[in-house]
Chains A and B, each alone.
Chain A
Amino acid sequence: MQHHQSKLETVLRALALTLVVLFFMFPIFWILLMSLQTNETILRVPPSVVFEPTLANYKGIITGRLETSAASLEINFLGNLWNSIFLSVTSVTLALVLGVPAAYAFARLKFKGSEDIAFTLLSFRFAPPLLVLLPLTLYFQQMGLADTYIGLIWVYQLICLPLILWIVRGYFEDISPDIENAYRIAGHSWFATFRKIALPLAGPGIAAAGLLAFIFAWNNFIFALVLASADKQPVTVGALAFITASGIQYGQIAAAVIMSITPTLALALYAQKYLVEGLSLGAVKG
């Protein structure tokens, strides 16, 4: 069926889209403007969009020296950025290595208690993180895992693993078992079948789940705040350093935010096509 749009319809549609984009993009746009201003111009009354842009905030973050009106402060924001990247990438990688085979097992083998185990894993996402964190802090201190990357990556599995497990499981379930049976009967082992048939066919779903897990891991705040000290903390926690005794450094916070959302934004934009395709592919049966 061909649907012809009238002129009015086109205009209204464009207007509606513009409003939606403005609504969602405005905070990011505003942060971008803030990051190019000094604290004085940000805080003036009334606020104005007319100002002389400065890169001082970015310079301060990159050089690690924070110049405030009162004093100069050492800050290690680039270290935080590296921590974010390292923690997110390793956590998602580990979650994929563990979660994808598990998802396959949950999808294909209906063993006793499989639903219960799968649900228990999902329920990690229901519990408030603090509930887990307080006892975990004690355990981690005894086990020597407090303030280590390994400990953090382990705890990050609470975020990544259930997500990957449940999304990818759906994709495996959507693959007709006959397609895998056909490959087995053709003479290939189950592992070859998993590698050559199940993995490629669930590929878009695995990519989408990985990307989502990455974004969740990247945005996590509370785990690293409680379990790690300054040199292991990601950007989300690192940004707290800008709340100083002499006042809140809005300009630097804005610059830090811009720098910390850039990697995920770039990744999401790049993978947008796969993400949408991957997340909707499972919903529509061919």
Chain B
Amino acid sequence: MSTLELRGATKRYKKDTVVDNVSFQVAHGETLVLFGPSGAGKTVLLRMVAGVVELDEGAVFIDGHDMHDTEAEDRGVGMAFQNFALFPHMSAFDNIASPLTVGANSKQVIKAGVEKVASLLKIDHVLSHAPRELSNGQKQRTALARALAASPPLLLLDDPLRNVDAKLRFEMRLELPQLLEKQGATVIYVTQDYKEAMALGDRIAVLDEGRIQQIGTPEAIYLTPHTIDIARLFGDPVINLFDVVGQRDEQGTYVELSGQRLALNEDKAACIDTDSVLGVRPESILFVPEGTVNAIPISIEAETPLNEKVVTLALTEGSREILISRPAGTDAPSSGQAYVSIDQSALMLFNKNTGVAIGESHDAKNSDGVAA
């Protein structure tokens, strides 16, 4: 296990800043997921840690040591590449053995090491094959086995499930957490898939345009996203967003949705008389019988039954689209007029112009930009 720290890491290509003043710490044995759209700088960041991309500014510390003068081969990290990057002229065995052939390991030690990790990843039967003879899934496992073979204390995984089919991705998403736990390594995991990020990360760092937008536990990012963009990226079906303007009367701050008053905590007072966006997760909306307090009338447009949940698309009286998600098997109208109520404890509010969340949050970093 290792600790990792980045301080002000910056990388520019020509005039393009691809990684912009990124700082974070990863504790012993922690799994940090770097999440973000393509071009966000995730891969470059990972390569900085691995030592194959030089920093223009800032520093990388592994176990408290500045890695500035340490070459990639001396950093003791394991890395799996998105494009697998297997050595095409070597067998799967030799590929996996490559981190073990450094130093004075005997043939038996190397063989035992390769076989151990190969059986863990269920590729022991294809060890003699060349990479071109392997299926995509086997290539991916070989690449992963190579990264794990020397039991590196710091493991860098660059979207390893990107290029494999959906079934395998699902399997690996279940397998990987156990595997990583067995290794006991500190892990940086890059992905574009929010489900993967939620499933694997102890913490998630959301990266966009080379900057960390938010860093926190999966729950914190899901429940208190720092910006509208982050709120949109996490969650399926996607979050409901309504343009609102905050108001205030003697009972406190509130917004109005379809004529219904939604009370807000005092920390969201910044939305008063300001163009704001109200965020409501589809699962925070419940179908209620007519006449319930604060019930919002809707007309149901369509219903999509997914296996574990049912997603309903409806229109409010103001013709705003609204998505409602409920567990499969629960009773609810599937067409016509209906009423819903919104769980007011789960409301999110963003400034419409800046896209930044309004109100206190679990993450101290979220506080900047709110003061205004």
Contacts and interface: CB of A to CB of B under 8 A. Distances in A.
A9 interface: no
Interface in A175-193: 176-179, 181-190
A185 B52 contact: yes
Contacts of A186: 73, 98-99, 102, 146, 150
Contacts of A176: 83, 85
B113 to A, nearest CB: 13
B78 A185 contact: yes
13 contacts: A179-B85, A179-B88, A181-B72, A181-B81, A181-B85, A182-B85, A183-B87, A185-B51, A185-B52, A185-B72, A185-B73, A185-B79, A186-B98
A184 B71 contact: yes
A187 B102 contact: yes
Given A187-B73, A188-B98, A178 B87 contact: no
Give chain B's interface secondary structure class. Answer: loop
A55 to B, nearest CB: 48
Contacts of B103: 187
A201 interface: yes
A121 interface: no
Give chain A's interface secondary structure class. Answer: helix
Interface residues of A, number: 17
B284 to A, nearest CB: 43
A285 B326 CA distance: 48
Interface string B31-65: 00000000000000001001110000000000000
B50 A188 contact: no
Nearest to A177: B52
A185 B89 CA distance: 18
B77 interface: yes
A181 B83 CA distance: 12
A247 interface: no
Given A185-B77, A190-B71, 15 more contacts: A176-B83, A179-B87, A181-B79, A181-B81, A182-B87, A182-B146, A185-B52, A185-B72, A185-B75, A186-B73, A186-B98, A187-B102, A188-B98, A189-B71, A200-B89
Interface in B68-126: 71-79, 81, 83, 85-89, 98-99, 102-103
A182 B79 contact: yes
Given A185-B79, A186-B99, A178 B88 contact: no
Of the candidates B74, B76, B89, the one having the most CB atoms from chain A within 10 angstroms of its own CB is B89
B73 A184 contact: yes
Interface in A137-194: 176-179, 181-190
A185 B50 contact: yes
A203 to B, nearest CB: 8
A62 interface: no
Of the candidates B79, B83, B85, B146, the one having the most CB atoms from chain A within 10 angstroms of its own CB is B85
A186 B80 CA distance: 10
A197 interface: yes
Nearest to B82: A178
4 interchain residue pairs of minimum CB distance: A187-B102, A178-B85, A186-B99, A184-B72
A197 B78 CA distance: 18
B102 A182 contact: no
Contact of A182 (B74, B76, B81): B81
A178 B72 contact: no
B158 to A, nearest CB: 9
A224 B98 CA distance: 49
B52 A188 contact: no
A189 B73 contact: yes
Nearest to B81: A178
A182 B99 CA distance: 9
Contacts of B73: 184-189
A190 B103 CA distance: 15
A187 B74 CA distance: 6
A92 to B, nearest CB: 24
A200 B78 CA distance: 24
Given A187-B73, A200-B89, A181 B50 contact: yes
Interface in B316-367: none
Contacts of B150: 186-187
Contacts of A200: 89
A177 B52 CA distance: 10
A176 B102 CA distance: 22
A181 B72 CA distance: 8
A197 B102 contact: no
Nearest to B102: A187
A186 B149 CA distance: 9
Contacts of A189: 71, 73
B156 to A, nearest CB: 8
B89 A201 contact: yes
Nearest to A201: B89
A177 B50 CA distance: 14
Nearest to A184: B72
A175 to B, nearest CB: 9
Contacts of A182: 79, 81, 85-87, 98, 146
